[in-house]
Structure 1
Amino acid sequence: MRTLGLIILVIVLGGTYNKATAHCEIPCGIYGDSVRIALIYEHIATIEKSIDQIRELSSKDPVDYNQLVRWVMNKEEHAVKIQDIAAKYFLHQRIKIIDPSDTEAYGEYIKQLTLMHKIQVYAMKLKQGTEVGLVSVIRDTVHEFEHAYFGKH
């Protein structure tokens, strides 16, 4: 009977486990900002491929609904990963709150926040549909954020 209780406990705990999708919020001091940017670009490329496959599969007769659903789920999963990196990594940990009295630093802060907000909104819109033009928009916005964040001009 004790074994059964232990099995049930493992199943319940396993079912309530939430995998951390960002690096961490300890903070551990181990950061890879450029790695996170590269991951966002990779997720964008995956979303673009997913959109292409969704459009191609949707135009076939008969439609392979199994594959179509898998590509839709893939697209949405990668859009969520972008949102997680933007929020849980950059907004929660890396973009530091700046005192408005430091007008130059505050302006950079606002620019980074604005770009991260755009990235999250564009990722949401990519989850909602298959507008291929949004892929370029989000990619360009990530590029702009990369320059604003790392100070490249």
Structure 2
Amino acid sequence: LSVNSPLEEIMQIYVSGVDGKSITLNVSSSQKVGEVLDMVEDKTGLMKEQAVLSYAGKNLDRPEQTLKDLNIESSATLTLSMRLLGGHCQVPCGIFDDPKTVSELKEACATIRKAMVQINELSKSVTPLNFNQMTRWVMTKEEHCKNIITTISEYCLCQRVKPAGAPKSPFKTDKDFVDALKAHHAVMVCAMKAKQSVDIAVAGNLEHAVGDWQKMYLPVEEGTEAKANL
């Protein structure tokens, strides 16, 4: 994203990421929190729906506020964190009973993370043998990312997720249906970004998205709903 006006002074701010690394953003004081989140998503792969920015110990939870409104000046450091799993489901919980699919996607996530770790390690010394092994790990990562996207799109969305009111639909309201679509879409986007990256934080984003998605495909633990509604 570009700053809002060519006449505005551009300043640099820093964002300390979930992996401990910092990124630099060129912004203007009139840019909004929502726009900064878009920039963070572009640089880190962490979807803005999952991202939480904070400054001086306070969460920046109003996307329409500007940096000037929040007294964020040049060289300021924002902290980036991920929304925690747990509590009441944002998606309808336990509507599908499919632990096998959940297990397959979690195994794929673990393989993707392992591939990224191996690629980063092997790249420290680029010998012909290491180059060959890196290539094999890249192909493995690509295959598992593709499998996740295919499972979500061709199986989950085509066969399991049906609009509210449709025959055999598990959704009671349109909102539940839309929330489910968002959760599935988040997994596909994170898998696509994992294909393009060897950053371990991107693997973490994928695991987080699968963690949200799986709530629909595993039985609700006894008492979970009651506790969530207290």
Asked whether the two chains share a fold, i.e. TM above 0.5, the reply is yes
> Is 1:73 aligned to residue 139 of structure 2?
yes
Q: CA deviation at 1:145?
A: 1.5
Q: CA–CA distance in 2 between the matches of 1:69 and 1:134?
A: 19
Q: CA deviation at 1:148?
A: 3.9
Equivalences for residues 1-150 of structure 1 within 5 A: 33-62=98-127, 64-99=130-165, 104-150=172-218
Q: CA–CA distance in 2 between the matches of 1:92 and 1:59?
A: 43
RMSD: 2.3
Instruction: Count matched residues.
Output: 121
Q: CA–CA distance in 2 between the matches of 1:92 and 1:115?
A: 15
The TM-score, its normalising length taken from structure 1, stands at: 0.71
Q: Is the 8 A contact 2:186 2:209 kept in 1?
A: yes
Unaligned stretches of 5+ in structure 1? 1-30
Q: CA deviation at 1:123?
A: 0.3
Larger proportion of strand: 2
Q: CA–CA distance in 2 between the matches of 1:80 and 1:32?
A: 23
- Runs of 4 or more above 2 Å deviation: 148-153
The TM-score, its normalising length taken from structure 2, stands at: 0.48
Relative distance call for 1:50 and 1:126 in structure 2 (3 A) is same
Q: CA deviation at 1:54?
A: 0.4
Larger proportion of helix: 1
Q: CA deviation at 1:132?
A: 0.8
